[in-house]
């Protein structure tokens, strides 16, 4: 099993070790408990939440998400560790490419599944650099240079273009020291994160849109996905000051207990219901990218 597949296991282990509840993590990060629960089950986590989660738990973020190999802590990566990439303890899969770059010979080797991730069979750095723009190349080169000078690991997302098809790649690398005690080889893993990155960018764009709308609304309004998970809200600015967990719980109950009403809402575009003593007006919308969301006005 690869490091990325046991992210949830490492997170649960850290919570148990530190005797920390999922609710406490959610409150510290300002996210829902449901989100934390999804992470413990191996769900995807975006970069900003990963940074805050690792900082809160006081662990290395790359290790937390991808395991020992990706953080450069694997026992195989020792001072004499000029090992072939196929020998590292990371199973190959259709989603993960392993690679190594020998700084002494300038040779680059990729695992056999590279074409599935990059859309092209790579055998040299020139072919690799040709897939991206100058900005992405400069960031990668800067990160690799830092590894060579200081050791440690480097991670970044970058976009590649293969015959007009854009893909987002997450790549992380660590240095391997040669007989001279200096980093003479870079080894790493890369994976196609197009779906995750596209979702992250879409949600960021949606949040900007929601924030503009919420700034001009005086009553309590919440934007959610179709399952009732909060995407944005102005609850903190309301006189009632409903706590986030209470509000999220209310919306989950609203969606779960009123499926017939919700289905009609999605068909007609709007509707009203009285729930737990509150008058709730719901609106169904499709964003510019055809992603559905709900807007609830609570009185």
pLDDT for 47 equals 67
Kindly state the average pLDDT of the residues 44-60: 81
Rounded distance between C-alpha atoms, residue 186 and residue 184, angstroms: 7
Q: Which helix (DSSP H) or strand (DSSP E) does residue 54 occupy?
A: helix 47-57
Query: Nearest-CA neighbor of 280 among 234, 219, 232?
Result: 219
Query: Nearest-CA neighbor of 212 among 228, 227, 232?
Result: 232
Highest mean pLDDT among 25-29, 95-99, 175-179, 288-292: 25-29
- Name the pLDDT band for 89 (thresholds 50, 70, 90): very low
DSSP3 helix / strand / coil % (the chain, rounded to 5): 45, 25, 30
pLDDT for 1 equals 38
Comparison of pLDDT for 73 and 96, the residue scoring more: 96
Listing from the earlier edge strand, what are the strands of the sheet with 153-162? 108-110, 96-102, 183-192, 165-177, 153-162
pLDDT for 67 equals 58
| Phi, then psi, of 107 in degrees rounded to 5 | -85, 140
Rounded distance between C-alpha atoms, residue 9 and residue 42, angstroms: 8
- Name the pLDDT band for 273 (thresholds 50, 70, 90): very high
* pLDDT-wise least confident of 43-47, 54-58, 117-121, 268-272: 43-47
- Percent of the chain at pLDDT above 90? 25
Comparison of pLDDT for 252 and 290, the residue scoring more: 252
For the chain, domains (ranges, CATH) are 3-66 (1.10.260.40), 77-192 (3.30.450.20), 197-298 (3.30.450)
Residue 201 in tokens: 């960018």
How far is Cα of residue 12 from the mean position of the Cα atoms in its chain?
18
If you write DSSP's letter for every residue of 164-177 in order, what string do you get? TEEEEEEEEEEEEE
pLDDT for 181 equals 87
Comparison of pLDDT for 222 and 83, the residue scoring more: 222
Q: For helices 33-40 and 22-29, give the axis angle rounded to 10 degrees.
A: 120
Residues near 121 by beta carbon (within 8 Å), at least 6 away in sequence: 114, 115
Q: For helices 22-29 and 244-257, give the axis angle rounded to 10 degrees.
A: 110
For 77, the 3-state DSSP assignment is coil
pLDDT for 268 equals 92
**pLDDT above 90: residue 218:** no
Looking up tokens 């764009």 gives: 205
Rounded distance between C-alpha atoms, residue 247 and residue 245, angstroms: 5
Residues near 162 by beta carbon (within 8 Å), at least 6 away in sequence: 118, 119, 120, 131
**pLDDT above 70: residue 6:** no
């Amino acid at each position: 099993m690869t490091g990325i597949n046991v992210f949830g296991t490492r997170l649960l282990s850290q919570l148990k070790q530190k005797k920390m509840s999922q609710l406490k993590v959610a409150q510290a990060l300002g996210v829902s408990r449901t989100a934390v629960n999804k992470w413990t089950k191996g769900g995807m986590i975006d970069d900003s939440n990963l940074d805050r989660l690792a900082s809160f738990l006081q662990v290395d973020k790359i290790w937390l998400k991808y395991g020992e190999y990706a953080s450069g802590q694997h026992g195989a990566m020792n001072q004499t560790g000029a090992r072939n990439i196929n020998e590292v303890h990371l199973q190959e899969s259709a989603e993960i490419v392993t690679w190594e770059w020998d700084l002494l010979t300038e040779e680059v080797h990729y695992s056999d599944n590279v074409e599935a991730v990059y859309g092209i069979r790579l055998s040299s750095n020139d072919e690799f650099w040709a897939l991206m723009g100058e900005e992405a190349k400069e960031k990668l080169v800067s990160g690799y240079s830092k590894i060579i000078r200081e050791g440690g690991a480097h991670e970044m997302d970058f976009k590649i273009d293969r015959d007009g098809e854009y893909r987002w790649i997450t790549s992380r690398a660590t240095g391997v020291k040669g007989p001279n005690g200096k980093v003479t080889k870079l080894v790493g893993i890369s994976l196609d994160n197009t779906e995750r990155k596209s979702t992250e960018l879409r949600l960021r764009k949606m949040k900007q849109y929601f924030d503009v709308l919420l700034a001009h609304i005086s009553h309590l309004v919440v934007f959610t996905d179709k399952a009732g998970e909060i995407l944005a809200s102005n609850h903190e600015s309301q006189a009632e000051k409903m706590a986030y967990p209470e509000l999220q719980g209310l919306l989950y109950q609203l969606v779960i207990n009123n499926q017939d009403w919700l289905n009609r809402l999605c068909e007609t575009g709007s509707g009203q219901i009285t729930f737990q003593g509150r008058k709730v007006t719901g609106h169904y919308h499709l964003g510019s990218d055809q992603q559905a969301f709900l807007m609830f006005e609570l009185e």
